[in-house]
Amino acid sequence: MLLARNLKRIAARSPWLYRINSGSCNGCDVELATTACIPRYDVERLGCQYCGSPRHADIVLITGPLNRHVKDAVLRLWEEIPEPKVTVAVGVCPISGGIFRESYAVCAPVDQYLPVDVNVPGCPPRPQAIIEGVAKAIEIWRARL
Amino acid sequence: MNVLSLLGRNLTQGPYTEPFPFGPAPTAKRFRGRVTFDAATCEGCKICERVCPAGAIRFSKAKDGLAFAVWHNSCVFCGNCEFHCPTGSVHQTTDWHLAHEQARKYAMVEFGLIPNQTCSECGATALATAPSLRGIAPPLSAEEAVTLKSLCPKCRARFLKARRAKP
Ligand code: SF4
Ligand code: SF4
Ligand code: SF4
C-alpha cells in the first residue's frame, strides 16, 4: 500500500496528446505533424506522445477557426476527453479567428464554447513555439492531477 | 558502406535533434515574429492598418493623441505592414516566444501613442507625427526637420511652400 502510494508520487506522469482539426487550413496541422514526426523537433522528448482516441487523451491541441460545419462534432469530441484535460489553441485561428475572423462560416474564437488553457499564436506557429506551448500545457496538467 | 558512414557521422556530430526547449533554438535573421512600433518615426498615414489582412492593427483616437495597437493573437505574421510602411516604424522582430496562458490572451498587444503637440507657429493642437520627407528637394537639414515636426499640418504646408519659393 505504502509502495503503491509512493510509486504514485515518484512516477513521472506522461500525458497523451490529441489533435482536433476544427477546419484549419492544414498549416497548423502540418506544423503539429512536424513537431511529432521529424527528429529535428521531436516533441516526445517532453515525455508525451500523440494518441488516436479522444478517450485516452490528456492534452488536446485544437487547430482551425471552428467552422460552423464541424462545430458540433468538435464539441462532442472535446466532451469525450476525460478530465483533467488541458486545452491548447494552436495558431491564431482558434484564438481569435485570425485571417477568417468575422466570417459567417466560422465560430471562432473557440474559447466561447470550451475553456482554453494555453494559446500558441502564429500562422502557423513554428514547431519550437508549439513545443513551448505543449511544455506549458504539461505544467498545467501536472498541477491539475 | 552507406550505413557505416551514417553511423560514423552520428557518432562524431551527435544527434540531429535541436536542443530546444532545453537549449536555444536557431532563428532565421529575417524571421517574422512579434510586431513592434516606433511612434517617434511614424507618419500617421495608417497604411499599415489598411493593408493588414487580419485586422490586427487598429488606430484609435485617444485623449492625448493617436493610439496604435497590434494584437498578436490576430496577426498572421504576413509582413504586409512592415513592407508597406514608408518609414519602417512598424517592424517585425525575430521574437517568436508568444505562447501564453489564457489569462494573458488580451495582453498580447503592442501599444504605441503618437502624442498631441502645440504647433510652434500658430499654437493649434495637432498630432506630433513625423513629417513625410520623401520628394522634398533639396533634402531638409536636421534643424529644418525638427522645425517641421513641431508644426501643425497647415503650417507644415506653408513652411514647405515658403521653402520652395526661396531662390
Ligand atoms: S492559424 Fe494560419 S496556418 Fe493555422 S489553421 Fe489558421 S490560417 Fe491555417
Ligand atoms: S507605422 Fe508606418 S504605415 Fe503605419 S501609420 Fe505609421 S508610418 Fe504609416
Ligand atoms: S504582420 Fe500582417 S497580420 Fe500582422 S500586423 Fe502586420 S499586416 Fe497585420
Angle at A114 between CA A107 and CA A90, to 5 degrees: 70
Q: In angstroms, rounded to a whole number, what is the distance separating the alpha carbons of residues A69 and B35?
A: 33
Q: Of A71, A86, A107, nearest to A16 (Cα)?
A: A86
Q: How many CB pairs under 8 A join A and B?
A: 93
Decide: B80 in ligand 3 pocket, CB within 6 A.
yes
Residue of B32, B74, B93, B95 to mutate, testing the A interface (most A Cβ within 10 Å of its Cβ): B74
| pLDDT confidence bin for A2, thresholds 50/70/90 | low
Q: What would the pLDDT profile of A55-69 be if each residue is shown by its tens digit?
A: 999 999 999 999 999
The residue whose CA has the least distance to atom 2 of ligand 3 is B78
Task: Give the start-to-end residue ranges of the domains of chain B.
Answer: 28-116, 119-167
Identity of the residue in A46, A123, A130 whose CB atom sits nearest the CB atom of B77 = A123
Can you tell me which residue has the cell 485586422?
A: B55
Spatial distance between the Cα atoms of A74 and A51, rounded to a whole number of angstroms: 17
Rounded CA separation A132/A12 (Å): 19
Q: Which grid coordinates belong to B153?
A: 499640418
Alpha helices in B68-152 (DSSP H): 80-84, 142-149
Is B89 or B136 the better-scoring residue by pLDDT?
B89
Closest ligand to residue A97's CA: 1
Question: In sequence order, which residues have a C-beta less than 8 Å from that of residue A109 and are 6 or more positions away?
Answer: A94, A95, A96, A97
A13-144 topology per CATH: Rossmann fold (3.40.50)
Mean pLDDT of B144-165: 91
What pLDDT digit, counting tens, does each position of B130-141 carry?
998 888 888 888
Which chain A residues are closer than 8 Å to B55 by Cβ? 101-102
Written out in words, the top-level CATH class of the domain with range B28-116 is: alpha beta
ipTM for the complex?
0.87
Please name the residue of chain A whose CA is at the shortest distance from the CA of residue B99: A120
A54 in B contact zone (CB under 8 Å): no
pLDDT tens-digit series, residues B20-30: 888 888 899 99
pTM score of the predicted model: 0.89
